[in-house]
Amino acid sequence: MAEFKELSPDAPAAAKLMNWVDNRFPASKLYKEHMSEYYAPKNFNFWYVFGSLALLVLVIQIVTGIFLTMHYKPDAALAFGSVEYIMRDVPWGWLVRYMHSTGASAFFVVVYLHMFRGLIYGSYRKPRELIWIFGCAIFLCLMAEAFMGYLLPWGQMSYWGAQVIVNLFAAIPFIGPDLALLIRGDYVVGDATLNRFFAFHVIAVPLVLLGLVVAHLIALHEVGSNNPDGVEIKKYKDASGKPLDGIAFHPYYTVHDIFAVSVFLMVFSAIIFFAPEAGGYFLEYNNFIPADSLKTPSHIAPVWYFTPYYSMLRAITSQMMYALVACVLVGAVLGVLKAKIGGLFKAVIVGGAVVLVIAMLMFDPKFWGVVVMGGAVIILFFLPWLDHSPVRSIRYRPDWHKYMYGIFVINFVVLGYLGIKPPSLINERVSQIGTLFYFGFFLLMPWWSRLGTFKTPPDRVTFAAH
C-alpha cells in the first residue's frame, strides 16, 4: 500500500483537494504521463490533428445518441414516426438529429484522413504494429456501428439497404442462410431486426469501440508517436531523459488541436445549418419516405462511406471470376519461381492455388463479392507485414511511390463514386479495374515497396520553428 502524501495545513484548498484525490486515484500521475510529460515529436504537421478530431466526433456521437434514444422507439410501426417527432416536435430535436447524422459522415472523413496519414508516413511499421491493428479494428467497429444505425430511421433506403446487405450473408456457402436469419432475427427484415440492430447500435458496439479507442491510445503512448520523418525521437535524450526532438504534448499540441477543433466545428456547424443532407449524400431523400416492403426504390445504394466497398462487391461478376482465377494462377507461378523456399513449400503453394481456383469456380460469384468486400477491409490489418520499404516516411521514398499513393486515393474515390451510381456496363468495367488495382496495391506491396532509389532519412527530425 502506497504511503499517503501530506501537505502543509497552510496549503491552498485546491492543492489539498488535489492531494486528497491523488492519494486515492493517480489523477496527477495520469495527467503527467499522458499530457504534460508525454513527449511528442516537435515536427508534427496538420496531418496529426485528425486523431484528436476523431475523438471529438466520437464524443459528439455518444452525447447526441443519448438524447436521440430518449425519444426514439425501436418498433417497426413507430420508428419512422418517432424520428419525425424528434425532428418536428422535440425542442432542438432537429439539431440533435442533424448533429448525429452529419457526425456519422464527419467520423468517416476524419478517420479516412487519419488512416491515410498513417499510410504515407509509415505509422504502422515496427514498433507500432499494435497501434495500427487497434486502429483497423476501430474502423471495422465503426462500419458495423454505422450500418446498424443506418437501419434505425426505418425509411425506404434504410429498409432496402439493410435487406440487400443482410441477404449478402446468405450467399456464404453452408452457413449463409442460417447466418442471415440470425442477423435479421426473422425471415425478413422487420421488427426483430430493428430491435437487435438498436441494441447493438446503442450498447454492444459502442462498448467495444470505446475499449478499442482506449487500447489504441495506451499502445500509442507506450511506444510513442511517429512523425513525418519516420525517425525515432527516443534515440537522443538529454541528461534528464527527455527526448531532444520532443516537446510536451500539453500545452504545445493541445493548442494545435484546439485550433483544429475550432476550424472543424465551424465547417461542421455550416453543414448542419445549411446543408445537413449534403445533396443526398449524408441523408438520402428516399429515407424521408417510410419503409415499404412492397415498393422497392429504383436504385439502392449505401451511404457514401460504404460505397467504395459496395462498388467492389458489385464488380465481382461471372466474367470477373476468370480474371481473379488468372491472378491466382499467375501469383502461384511467380511465388514458385521467385520465392527462395524448399520444394515442399512450393508444392503447398501450387496445391493451395489449385484448391482456391476450384473453389472460385464452384461457388457463386455473389459469395466471392462478399469475400472481396470484407477482404478490402481485412487486408489493412496486414499492412505492417506487407510494406518492405527500407524507410518509413513517404518523404524519403522514390518520387514514383508518391504517385502510386496518389493513384490509390483517386482509385478509392472513383470506386466510391461508382458505388453511388446505378449499375451499367462501363461502370462495371471501371469498378473491376479499380478493384484489381486496390488489391494489387497491397498484395504486390512486398515487391514494389522495395523498388527505386531511396533517400537517407535524417538521424534527427527536421524541424522549422513556426
What cell numbers appear for 314 in the block? 458489385
pLDDT grade for 369, boundaries at 50, 70 and 90: confident
List pLDDT tens digits, range 164-187.
Answer: 888 888 888 888 889 999 989 888
**Is the pLDDT reported for residue 1 higher than 80?**
no
pLDDT grade for 336, boundaries at 50, 70 and 90: low
**Binding site per annotation, positions for a ubiquinone:** 221
pLDDT at site 167? 85
pLDDT grade for 147, boundaries at 50, 70 and 90: very high
pLDDT grade for 293, boundaries at 50, 70 and 90: confident
CA-based nearest residue to 159, from 167, 168, 171, 150:
150
From residue 445, give the alpha-carbon distance in Å to each of 103, 324, 368, 379, 401.
Answer: 34, 18, 23, 12, 11
pLDDT at site 340? 63
What cell numbers appear for 452 in the block? 527505386
Cβ atoms of 327 and 444 closer than 8 Å: no
Whole-angstrom distance, CA of residue 161 vs CA of residue 166: 9
Whole-angstrom distance, CA of residue 135 vs CA of residue 302: 23
**Is the pLDDT reported for residue 40 higher than 70?**
yes
pLDDT at site 32? 85
∠ CA 61-297-190, rounded to 5°: 60
Segment 436-443 mean pLDDT: 93
**Is the pLDDT reported for residue 348 higher than 80?**
no
Angle between helices 50-69 and 93-121 (to 10 degrees): 150
**Binding site per annotation, positions:** 100, 114, 201, 216, 221
> Domains of the chain by range and CATH?
33-288 (1.20.810.10), 304-448 (1.20.810.10)
**Is the pLDDT reported for residue 154 higher than 70?**
yes
DSSP conformation letters of 290-324: B--TT---SS----GGGHHHHHHHHH--HHHHHHH
List pLDDT tens digits, range 396-421.
Answer: 999 999 999 999 999 999 999 999 99
**Binding site per annotation, positions for heme b:** 100, 114, 201, 216
pLDDT at site 346? 66
